[in-house]
Structure formats: C-alpha cells, structure tokens
Amino acid sequence: MHNLKWLLLSAVVVALDLWTKALASEHLAMHEPVPVFPGFNLTLMHNEGAAFSFLSSAGGWQRWFFTIIAIVVSVVIVGWLARLKPGQRWLALALALILGGALGNLWDRLTLGYVVDFIQVYYQKWYWPAFNIADSAITVGAVMLVLDSLFGRHGERREGHE
C-alpha cells in the first residue's frame, strides 16, 4: 500500500488537465488558432476518437470502447502500483502519469462524449494533431515505461536509491 501515495500525483495530473481544458473551452473559439509563439498555438478541438483522432468518425461506439479500455487500464495500473517495491520510483512515476492522463481523458468521454484538445504544435506547414495535458502525461509516462523496460534494474535494490 506504500506506493498508493503515487495516486496523489495522478490526482494532480487529472486536476491540471481538467482545469486547463475548462480554461481552453471557456476562452478559445473552436478551430481558431491563437498563436503563442512560432511552432505553438492554442486551438480548441473536440476529439471523439483516440490518439490522433483514431476512430473519431466511427459512429459513437468508440466512446464506450475507449471508456472501457481506460477503466481496465486504470484498474490494472492501480494494482501494479500497489505491488511495486519501494525503490521503483521511476516506474511508479511513469504509472502515475499514465493513470492521471487516462482518468483525465476518461472524465471528458463520460461527461462530454469527446476529449477536449487545445495544444497545437507545428513546424512550417506540418501540424501535429492537437492534444492536452492528459495526453502529454500519458506520452511521458509511456516513454518512461519503455526506458524502464530497456534500462531499469529489475529486481535489484541499489543502495542510496530507495
């Protein structure tokens, strides 16, 4: 149960995500970019699909499909967090970020039927699909998981790194 303290980080991610989505929804007009600096706009968009608008025009069933996936993944992550050893902070951080992001986007799907995206990154005429804080947390957490699986010292306890 000692690692469930990481749920506080997940809660912070959810709170930050929902707060920034509310600000974006209140202050931005749909699909009208607000330049912040070259390569970065704030642009309100609604995503009914998953990452990169995958299945966004599938007819509505995808809302419940992605909702079920988010719930299952969240339960698995909470269980995983509960079983981590005290020294596995990197892995706990990664899981907490993914959990917070999944729950932030899950909230949107359940309450709105879509996910609010508002961060737009581009280079010249090439635009990355719009995203949000939850997506960022999931991405950072996933990269951390990959790094942990490649370079982590599994099963070892290193002195001074507990």
* The two three-digit tokens of residue 79, written as one number: 């269980």
What letter does residue 139 receive in the DSSP assignment? H
Beta strands in 51-144 (DSSP E): 115-123, 126-127
Q: What pLDDT does residue 57 have?
A: 53
Q: What pLDDT does residue 67 have?
A: 81
Distance separating alpha carbons of residues 45 and 142, to the nearest angstrom: 24
Q: Which amino acid is at 139?
A: T
Q: What pLDDT does residue 61 have?
A: 61
Annotation marks residue 117 as catalytic: yes
pTM for the model: 0.84
Q: For every one of its 162 residues, what pLDDT tens digit does the chain have, with 9 covering 90 and above?
A: 567 789 999 999 999 999 999 999 999 999 999 999 999 999 999 987 655 555 555 455 666 777 888 899 999 999 999 999 888 999 999 999 999 999 999 999 889 988 999 999 999 999 988 999 999 999 999 999 999 999 876 555 544 454
Out of 17, 108, 135, 148, the active site residue is: 135
Annotation marks residue 148 as catalytic: no
What letter does residue 114 receive in the DSSP assignment? S
Out of 17, 108, 117, 148, the active site residue is: 117
> Please, are residues 6 and 93 in contact by the beta-carbon 8 Å criterion?
yes
Q: What pLDDT does residue 51 have?
A: 53
Q: What pLDDT does residue 155 have?
A: 53
